[in-house]
Amino acid sequence: MTTGQTLRLGVNIDHVATVRNARGGASPDPLRAAKLAEAAGADGITAHLREDRRHISDADIEGLAAALTVPLNFEMAATDEMQAIALRHRPHAVCLVPEKREERTTEGGLDVLREEARLGRFIAPLREAGCRVSIFIAADRPQIEAAQRIGAQVIELHTGAYCDAHAEGRLAERDAELAGLRDMAAFGHGLGLEIHAGHGLTYDTVGPIAALPEIRELNIGHFLIGEAIFRGLDPAIREMRRLMDAARGAV
Ligand code: PXP
């Protein structure tokens, strides 16, 4: 395997749906945002269908699956209901995430070690259906080894702790988190896994993550949708792309 390849940007549109659902109507439309993101250079669109449907709806997934020209990364919990939906749509990618009803956002990585056998059985039909299976995971060696054992093709490293430490000025912790992400990106890549990363990334935090040569894709949502309020979605995405490319040494 090679490193230093282009870095893909997956734009997560969940929070367009959050704003829509605040009023219960049809606007703003996540599909319109997704098409705009495509035009702005997104390499993929990510959407998380939560069990409680707090943002993305089943109809949104149907619309995205039908209308996107870039790959859809379908984020979901490892439940029978979500597996059936994924098998119906056969998205390019499925990313398994932990889900707790009471959480505000996806707080940690999936504990693959704790339910290794079940998750192995769970992802087999998804892989057979042609979906690239990714596991959202902490930068933790035993968890990464378990993800590889169960047959995941991709791990997405959780960057939330790194971003939180940066935002709160805990710089020694931020640097320790970054070092862990760096080591585990290299470790996972060495196991033959494709490495992605995401959660909480901003213009201020994306550079050091984008610079890690083993990382092939970043999934970014909340910050971009917020930034779109001020500068529009297209320029918000283009600026993220520019910063990623600059950190990667691609420009
Ligand atoms: N990757 C995964 C697996 C996620 O669950 C999320 C948040 O839903 C993201 C990336 C994007 O995080 P953010 O919205 O904080 O950019």
The rounded distance, in Å, linking the Cα atoms of 217 and 202 is 15
Closest residue CA from atom 15 of ligand 1: 200
| pLDDT at residue 173, as a whole number | 98
Closest residue CA from atom 12 of ligand 1: 199
Q: Where are the domains of the chain?
A: 8-246
| pLDDT at residue 6, as a whole number | 85
Ligand 1: residues within 6 Å at CB? Answer: 12, 14, 48, 75, 95, 97, 105-106, 136, 156, 198-201, 219-223
- Tell which atom from ligand 1 comes closest to the C-alpha of 15: 14
- Residue 48 known to be catalytic: yes
Whole-Å CA distances, 186 to 10, 147, 183, 211: 21, 15, 5, 12
Selected catalytic residue, list 15, 38, 48, 196: 48
- Tell which atom from ligand 1 comes closest to the C-alpha of 219: 10
| pLDDT at residue 105, as a whole number | 67
**Regions in the chain scoring below 50 on pLDDT:** 1-3
Start-end of H helices in the chain: 14-23, 30-39, 58-67, 80-89, 116-128, 141-149, 160-167, 171-190, 206-210, 222-231, 233-248
Using DSSP, state whether 241 is helix, strand or coil: helix
Q: What pTM, to 2 d.p., does this model score?
A: 0.95
Q: Which CATH architecture has domain 8-246?
A: Alpha-Beta Barrel (3.20)
- Residue 75 known to be catalytic: yes
The rounded distance, in Å, linking the Cα atoms of 118 and 95 is 16
